[in-house]
A and B are shown apart, each in its own frame.
Chain A
């Protein structure tokens, strides 16, 4: 398997995603430049965080129309697994790869801190190895992460809500658990086919114990799950 990390001029988590794929999880990975129209032989695509084209207009709105995104769309339509993290999630929504939209945080401020997520919804390449109900800890760092969708019940019914903000004990009720005021505490979703997953938290920042105040590496399980999926094996990773 080969991973492509999409590189927009203002991506700034591109090196981080490449590092985790290549040196932590052991998946061969390379960058795909925004001006290119091909993903080469990639079997996995990561759209990393950052500020794609400065994002002065609306996060991800311009990136959605870049040459490489046409290739990503074709890849996703063929069922290829796509992980869209933070700004990547914003871009995927703007590009129509994922439903809904990400708006300004309720606080109107950038927020950077660890959050807890509960894994739920339908199986996806990035979560099929993680037992449902598992609580993961990883950081968020964004100003526009408040997820909005016009028809939440249908999104829920189709199992497309993949991650929700919870407190450390798994409760949805704690107001402090949701860092941005996202609808229904949504932290991450997938498309109808399940192969494109977007989330605001940063699994690549939570893939090594040395970076965690509590020595966890929960983010790693998303990448491990994708590797197992592409290897065609069922493997519990979380």
Chain B
């Protein structure tokens, strides 16, 4: 094939600016070859290089006593004691999932699983944080059903339980959905593998699936906005094969059990290019590849295509010289293609040859280091206008009708239609299933003397993009706080965080860039104060279509630890127990409790107000009290107040169990509007269920931690009745509320 002439226009077609093109000249001291131009373009894409976000990410807290590996590797690693470690990360697959929802979501799951088992960990759980456009948008049904089927198709076959996550709908995602997948794995703390091409002279091995032409320039696509031509980008979406991924997992773990493995990295975005360049750069070495040996499934592939292909289920490994055959034997056992395709050198350069002909010869350092931009940002002039919420003119509708509308609203309704399609029980570890609690809990069988006494890992994801749109700093802090609270409700100690920062264009100072900077600041502050360092993450920018940006969505994933998994409690209230509120009845400024709330959006069709105020000390107190109450078996259920506030939390507790149960609640409004008390979304609040005989002991625990404790009612009967003294605020048969909650999503999808 004749290669095109290297011009600035060609560079622009590759997504490079003329300044970036000049910089490549400076680095090489000459014009790049066609292959080099392709390699630079993907390595310097926003997706691979984090060029707009990197200067801000540096301010995040990334270390702590539990942290074994922070950001910069394939995934983060934390110590969970007993010589064991948890490896986890969240990553976006937004652009491909919008173009081809099934394969986009499937390969998103595949990619994050590889990131985790590349480090030496067997995946034990997956969570997915999904965002779709308006429920009645013509594309939403197709996108939602496709994404769910893709996640199910990949995770179920691979054999990892999909245990949690969240789904939200908002019109800002109409043209740009979000698919953020988080994988969690378990390994020995002293057997962690890094992506380093160490040891000059060591062979570089390719193994896994064959290379085809799929996904060429996927990373570049993921770094651009969408427009009406985006549908034509379908060929840049890769196709997943969970069976090969499973073989890859088993082969990797077997290879890691031998002592011949030096370094390993999966071929994710930018495939062979990023894996080889990053492995060389991390070790301060060079790497020389001979592409002639690369297993391929199509004929006539050029070096350019081989280097940029994003074919899935492929790995690059460096093994000790002379021990290639041991590794090749393991790959043969698992029926995987494999070949020695290169060698580690001491030149610090990445040299790519095809049949001996040099196609590229570039310094690894500057390629991997990428670019760093100080992009301008400023607070939007109209921000205060978004906060305008006049309570005097806000009508007070019928509260029972409002509660019914809320529990059946797309953002709150039961996710059962979705999680039934996910195998959430494989690997016999799932102690709390999806929908049963605010966080998933998976027990750790390895090393447990008694399987019934095993420790547990708890996981949750969260982000409220309305809060983030109204105030990205506060919204990001609230997302961290909710994850922290979710873990505390099941009794788990929050340990560490991963994030997936989904934003619009960083070239927009007031929207994309300012929101990104503010959200990172909020994440940092909250994670620092709550001692949940960020050990891994991903940034996805340019989430916009035809110039319309998504609401900022810094998705937070958190992992916590339970000394005994069997201690965990779910959110379902049993009959004839006392209900109490742990934490305050509301925030200090009642109006802010409604800011950005689901109640305002669903009942009043308003997205306005300042998001609720978060007091991190109060959040920590509520969390610590709840954890102790759960672990000391004083409570039988716990459920946090989030979307829909206290009334929705109580309703969900009443309808989450095997049998529906009513409740009688009596609230002291303290002079507040009843709708604010019922539906306000002030953080740091957990509804707990406990036997009446344990009220005094529970109150003492709460007081010791500095958390407010208020008995609010009792379960029983067939209705949910909420009183304020003699005034009845809500009175509804619990079966009606349960029906609205359970059937809403299926109806929305035209399936009920």
* Residues of chain A whose beta carbon lies under 8 Å from any beta carbon of chain B: 9-10, 12-13, 15-16, 19-20, 23-24, 49-51, 53-56, 109-113, 139, 141, 143, 202, 204-205, 208-211, 213-214
Contact = CB atoms under 8 A, between A and B. Distances in A.
B243 A139 contact: no
Interface stretch (B152-160, B269-277, B511-519): B152-160
Contacts of A24: 451
B598 to A, nearest CB: 27
B425 A139 contact: yes
B149 to A, nearest CB: 8
B618 interface: no
Contacts of A50: 159
A51 B243 contact: yes
A181 to B, nearest CB: 15
Interface stretch (B42-50, B196-204, B430-438, B695-703): B430-438
A9 B247 contact: yes
B658 A214 contact: yes
A141 B426 CA distance: 9
Given A54-B242, A141-B426, 11 more contacts: A10-B246, A12-B246, A24-B451, A51-B242, A54-B241, A54-B243, A55-B243, A110-B423, A141-B156, A208-B452, A211-B430
Nearest to A108: B149
A9 B243 CA distance: 8
B451 A19 contact: yes
5 contacts: A12-B427, A19-B428, A50-B159, A54-B243, A110-B423
B640 to A, nearest CB: 20
B436 A210 contact: no
Contacts of B156: 51, 110, 112, 141, 143
Interface string B406-433: 0000000000000111111111101101
B638 to A, nearest CB: 16
A223 B43 CA distance: 54
B68 to A, nearest CB: 25
B443 interface: yes
Q: Which 5 A-B pairs have the closest CB atoms?
A: A12-B159, A54-B243, A51-B157, A141-B423, A16-B428
A232 B246 CA distance: 39
Interface string B140-155: 0000000001001100
B157 A205 contact: no
A204 B426 CA distance: 10
Nearest to B426: A12
A55 B433 contact: no
Contacts of A16: 426-428
Contacts of B566: 210
Contacts of A139: 425
B335 interface: yes
B377 interface: no
B425 A111 contact: no
A141 B159 CA distance: 11
A205 B425 contact: yes
Contacts of B159: 12-13, 50-51
Interface of B: 149, 152-153, 156-159, 241-244, 246-247, 250, 334-335, 419-428, 430-431, 433, 436, 443, 445, 451-452, 565-566, 570, 658
A80 to B, nearest CB: 25
B241 to A, nearest CB: 7
B572 to A, nearest CB: 8
Nearest to B450: A23
A205 B443 CA distance: 13
Contacts of A211: 425, 428, 430-431
Given A9-B250, A12-B158, A141-B156, A213 B436 contact: yes
A235 B436 CA distance: 36
Contact of A109 (B243, B421, B570): B421
Contacts of B427: 12, 15-16
A129 B246 CA distance: 37
A60 B445 CA distance: 29
A134 B424 CA distance: 26
A111 B420 contact: yes
Contacts of A19: 428, 445, 451
B425 to A, nearest CB: 5
A233 to B, nearest CB: 26
Given A139-B425, A141-B425, A210 B658 contact: no
Nearest to A20: B428
B425 A213 contact: no
Nearest to A50: B159
B490 to A, nearest CB: 14
A211 B335 CA distance: 34
B334 A9 contact: yes
Contacts of B436: 213
Contacts of A9: 243, 246-247, 250, 334-335
A204 B423 contact: no
A213 B658 contact: yes
B451 A208 contact: yes
A70 to B, nearest CB: 19
Nearest to B430: A211
Contacts of A49: 426
A205 B452 contact: no
Contacts of B570: 213
B431 A210 contact: yes
Contacts of B158: 12
A51 B241 CA distance: 12
A51 B156 CA distance: 9
Nearest to A51: B157
A23 B428 contact: no
Nearest to B336: A9
B420 A112 contact: yes
A122 to B, nearest CB: 30
Contacts of B421: 109-112
Given A110-B152, A205-B428, A213-B658, A53 B423 contact: no
A15 B430 CA distance: 14
Nearest to B160: A12
Given A16-B426, A112-B423, A209 B445 contact: no
A113 B420 contact: yes
Among B159, B452, B658, max chain A CB count under 10 A is at B159
A113 B658 CA distance: 13
Contacts of B334: 9
Nearest to B436: A213
A31 to B, nearest CB: 12
Contacts of B431: 210-211
A16 B428 CA distance: 6
Contacts of B565: 210
B627 to A, nearest CB: 19
A13 B424 CA distance: 13
Contacts of B246: 9-10, 12, 51
Nearest to A139: B425
B658 A209 contact: no
Nearest to B658: A214
A205 B152 CA distance: 19
B157 A112 contact: no
Contacts of B153: 110
A209 B450 CA distance: 13
Contact of A112 (B241, B243, B424, B658): B424
A28 B381 CA distance: 71
A15 B451 CA distance: 14
Nearest to A143: B156
Nearest to A13: B426
Among A50, A110, A214, max chain B CB count under 10 A is at A110
A35 to B, nearest CB: 8
A111 B335 CA distance: 30
Contact of A55 (B157, B420, B423, B426): B157
A108 to B, nearest CB: 10
A143 B157 CA distance: 10
A19 B427 CA distance: 9
A126 B150 CA distance: 36
A210 B425 CA distance: 12
Contacts of A110: 152-153, 156, 420-423
